[in-house]
Structure 1
């Protein structure tokens, strides 16, 4: 790890906290209303129970699809604030509108809030009854995913599988993932880390209710598996099968290398469409109306920067271990890098983005939804990741390659975080003159 010792801000903030992992209590509706009976004990099926942490659009999508299994796995929804327990009790449960049909589920789920605060009434129970969590889906916003998972490390070990279901790149890819695991799980008993790339489109209509506006597909694959045990934990296969066979999710399992490439490609899309629609306050399709206009020129600048960063990353030693896991067994590492370098060229990225832009033209990006709702965006996990990666590659460059430019992506981070609203000409002057 010495060659890659520069820690990104997210890793530094977690590892600078040397406090022991907290003891967390699982609040249920019975802890806020004495008239509500206690939920069935979590010990009913600890190996099969699936915990879904974060009940936004992605959490609702995956929860609804997983609950349509027959037989249905036990599922616990984990919310981020106590008030949502009351709203759950008073409301109809989880609602998803898909292809004009309403899915509604309430008795299919248990619901909890995990906190260091001890309940003052009702049952007092530690998370997972102080046992290990076997199956965890983290569907929070990207910025919260690692802090929330880190908080749970008392309840995770080599028998656990954690599936990150966010837009953006998993933070546990090399070069920083193994440093995190080794630091937080020094006995070699770290959890198995998987991730999903979700191409479905959904938007919120309030707490626990979403519209599955653009049914598409999903993929799941490994990021870091615990290699200190003699065999892969059963939870890896269990969660992978549960997701790939869930009705309406249209998911498939892919290799580690293919997952990495898929996340990179999705990142290019998110880092282009999301911030521009958030600043211009428009639907996705408006970005692509004039292929010779100002917005198109801004997109080209963003794609050229992203292409340079990702092509350099593909050919960097930190990516060797990932690419070596490719299922293209007849292809040499050098040939695979050459193929991917071509795939992430500007000339290939531009038509890819415009093709996807046509498919999602009627949608509002998740970042536009967030800024309209006054919520924190995922800009640092999209464009910010590219800036951070460029910094890492530049620092490890030793003067052998041209310095990578991420100034346009950095400009978008600043604009979105300042709440900027611009028209096309103003945005062009700001970005293209830099």
Structure 2
């Protein structure tokens, strides 16, 4: 385009000088380089004229008194205006009000018809409902007519109702004060009010250093261990958690991260959102080694309390039990119970299974399994995270605040160190199929 504009400018200069042959040749060359070079040149000239007009007004305007201007600038420097959360929507509303009423879709080639103008507005709403928010906003950037269509509250009301319901909010009645807070601007509500995104996964990439062995005493060998944590949220309040080592990359994990997954490090729990605080409770080992009280693996549903207050205790039996409380970190410690023949065992449930003990895994003491089936689970995990928006995108970061191990028999809560944990970042998933 730049080459075409340069040739087009030369053609105009030749035409102004009266050299019509050279001008005609330059015009032909410019249009061969870009068929719409004349429109681009016109837009460039309009922008240049507007800029020059603004500069001229700034220089020719009446100059105020110097002392008065200095005083006003000093006042501006010390005044802290209150943050108006409605400033951006008001600006958008002001821009929309400046649009003419008879907006239409204009074809790029003026000689061709524009059939989009024949579509009634009701049909547009049906089409928009089929799009995700990103596609809607991209469509709105096409032209002013598209922007007017996409800000209509008909779509945004439906989207807010589908999104902000338990466990995104405590009760459906809590949505009314939120709507009033944003002055019934449902588009602004959807953009600015905290929510957990369910159109993808939250992934944390964690690292730690593990000392190695060396035959040479002068050489220290250290291994950089990388592992990933995955969180997938469902609208019914269920959450899937997976800790996988570096042998499985995200491209391999995403298609298999479903409630039917059975592998080491896989957990199923419940979640609910309170403001910007995300609570994940009752994370239980779903690798298939243990029986989870109140959980039906056939329907992938759980009756464990979503309030995180009461937790069912597993039934006792005559078998000997051994427990171990696990903590993610290089220095994992195991504490055996007072059972006469119990022994501490790390089960790698939410860890890597290579001995370094990252994750939930070593926190699951269990009853020795018998031929009748898997053992009863005795430990679950709770996590508290903050939902944030950084640096681009909305609600795309989860900061891990607390991480606790809960003994289902004694209700004892043991905090887990967070030395090596990193924030979760959102990654949109188009399809979970292979």
Task: Report which of the two structures shows the higher radius of gyration computed on alpha carbons.
Answer: 2
Higher percent of residues as strand = 2
Same fold per superposition (TM over 0.5):
no
The higher relative CO (CA closer than 8 Å, separation ≥ 6) is in 1
Higher percent of residues as helix = 1
